[in-house]
Structure 1
Amino acid sequence: MGAEGTLRRIALLLEYEGTAYAGSQLQRNAPTVQQTVEAALRSLTGEQTRLALAGRTDAGVHAKGQVGSFLTRKGYAPETFVHGLNAHLPDDIAVVAAAEVPLGFDVRRHARRRWYRYTVLLREARPALLRRFAWHLHGPLDLEAMARAAPLFEGEHDFASFARPDRARGRTVRTVYRCRLQRRGQLVLLDMEANAFLPQQVRRTVGALVELGRGRLSLEEVEALLRQPRPGAARWAAPPHGLCLMRVYYDEEIFGHAFAEAQDLPT
């Protein structure tokens, strides 16, 4: 607990279902995660404060491990922010943990890497329970070819081909530490970890791999998209609802044990 009136920075571990939101970042005339959490902060503290978020998620994209931070002069203990904010938030957004961090902490710049998971449901019957959380596909899909191609995306590449065309300007080089595809029963999971991602990068990667699995794209064509980057060349963006921000990694000492324990869930 801090002294009342002293400026403090609080970090939040957030999870949300993105179905009802036009993305994570503040927008005019559209509900967003940032706007909703800021409104809850005003209700709890009476302060007008900005919430910074580690990862920018598009409309319909979910998060299990989003990290946000804000400034406050309230002396509340971190757990008070957890319970207090959850009392003011809708059911599709939850604060899982909170920790006091140094004032100079930058939730985006200090992130070491980000982990996204894309979920495909591969079966004939349409889903009811997973309809908001997985891309439903049916018919033949060469999962072995997709799994062989996924590691091609690892390493440092210019990913301009896999960015949304209007956002593929400037520096488009990113380092992907992991890109692996696995099957769990009827679910096909693609996990990608990188220092940062371009807009729609994961969704367009998934889209290209699905085209490969359907036999509409060759392995050589996938390789060419990486070797010869052209903005928006990978035009197959998977739908947003299959994507989830799983975790944002920082130096462990920033949060202590508060976030580690909250994130210790089966994946």
Structure 2
Amino acid sequence: MSRKTFKIILSYDGTKYFGWQRQEKFLTVQGILEHALFKFFGNDIKTFGAGRTDAGVHAYGQVVSFAADTMIPAKNFKSILNGLLPDDIRVISVSDAPAGLNPRYNVKQKLYRFIICNSPQYYAVYNGRCWHIPEKLDIQKMKEAAKMLSGRHNFYSFSKAGNDTKEYTRTIDSITIKKNGKWLILDFKGKSFLYNMVRRLTAIIVLYGQGQLTADDITKMLETQDRSLVRNTAPPQGLYLVKITYDKRNVSKRYGSDDEGDE
């Protein structure tokens, strides 16, 4: 029996989970997935996830790898795992992967999406899916803030205290804001994000759209490494890890650029 490496594209509703990463005393997505693999293989299977999403954060396209001694083809694992997983965690696809693949490395770009319900009218079915802001937001002002925050900056002020990150400079490829009726869709694209960074950026963009911040305030946040300047964090339920793309030239390499933070 040969040892094979597999890549999973995973979708999950993060509402009841304490994030992606396994924790001994808490319910996590990684813990549930590894338990499903244990039930099938009869031994512990270690998984590696590309994005360490926080409690309450959702995913359309989390990328996960695992290795196992098996002759079962990759195409069979989707139905097998979905039969062992709860309904709020779904395997979208399973494919063969290079030996030793760790999806945290050699990321080309991640797409995070934040959804806001901007309307006085709010339905209970939206709970856990978005951030409800009843007051009208100035979309053009929000786009101004998004433009200021895009590009390469030291995002120390937007990071959470107590993390183990040593390098706070990140490049945001783009921040786009689209309005569809009551819904505002904020898309953040970049290779790497600090822990809580997208949610803090979202909060600042909203505050700017409410007229509570000025352009000088945002400039100061970027130029002064002072976490006290960014006190607001958008709630986790509006955030989705949508898609991760890789540098195909180096996809077989285990080591490379690692995202130290994430949401």
Structure 2 length as normaliser, TM-score? Answer: 0.91
1:164 partnered with 2:150: no
CA–CA distance in 2 between the matches of 1:254 and 1:241?
33
Seq. identity, % = 32
Give the SS at the match of 2:124: coil
Give the SS at the match of 1:165: coil
CA–CA distance in 2 between the matches of 1:156 and 1:67?
25
Equivalent position of 1:38 in the other structure: 34
Give 2:38's aligned amino acid.
R
Quickly say closer, same or farther: Cα 1:16–1:254, change in 2 above 3 A: farther
What's the CA shift string for 1:129-181, capped at 9, x where partnerless?
22211101111321110012102222211111111122275111111111111
Give 1:23's aligned amino acid.
G
CA–CA distance in 2 between the matches of 1:75 and 1:19?
35
What is the deviation of 1:116?
Answer: 0.1
> Mind listing any 5+ residue stretches in structure 2 that lack a counterpart?
252-263
Tell me if the contact between 1:112 and 1:249 (Cα under 8 Å) persists in the aligned partners.
Answer: yes
Residues matched between the structures, number: 251
1:100 partnered with 2:96: yes
Give the SS at the match of 1:171: coil
Instruction: Map 1:193-232 to 2 at 5 A.
Output: 193-231=189-227
Quickly say closer, same or farther: Cα 1:130–1:172, change in 2 above 3 A: same
Give the SS at the match of 2:148: helix
Tell me if the contact between 1:127 and 1:136 (Cα under 8 Å) persists in the aligned partners.
Answer: no
Match of 1:247 among 243, 246, 249: 243
Equivalent position of 1:19 in the other structure: 15
What is the deviation of 1:191?
Answer: 0.6
What's the CA shift string for 1:194-240, capped at 9, x where partnerless?
11110100000011111111111112201221122223531110000
Give 1:237's aligned amino acid.
T
Give the SS at the match of 1:141: coil
Give 2:109's aligned amino acid.
R
Instruction: Map 1:61-140 to 2 at 5 A.
Output: 61-140=57-136
Tell me if the contact between 1:115 and 1:246 (Cα under 8 Å) persists in the aligned partners.
Answer: yes
Equivalent position of 1:265 in the other structure: none
| Greater displacement, 87-96 / 74-83 | 74-83
> Mind listing any 5+ residue stretches in structure 1 that lack a counterpart?
256-267
| Greater displacement, 189-198 / 163-172 | 163-172
What is the deviation of 1:17?
Answer: 0.2
Tell me if the contact between 2:51 and 2:104 (Cα under 8 Å) persists in the aligned partners.
Answer: yes
Structure 1 length as normaliser, TM-score? Answer: 0.90
1:59 partnered with 2:55: yes
| Greater displacement, 125-134 / 31-40 | 125-134
What is the deviation of 1:182?
Answer: 1.5
What is the deviation of 1:112?
Answer: 1.4
What is the deviation of 1:106?
Answer: 1.9
What's the CA shift string for 1:60-86, capped at 9, x where partnerless?
000001000011011111121111000
Tell me if the contact between 1:168 and 1:232 (Cα under 8 Å) persists in the aligned partners.
Answer: no
Give the SS at the match of 1:64: strand
Tell me if the contact between 2:57 and 2:237 (Cα under 8 Å) persists in the aligned partners.
Answer: yes
CA–CA distance in 2 between the matches of 1:242 and 1:232?
24
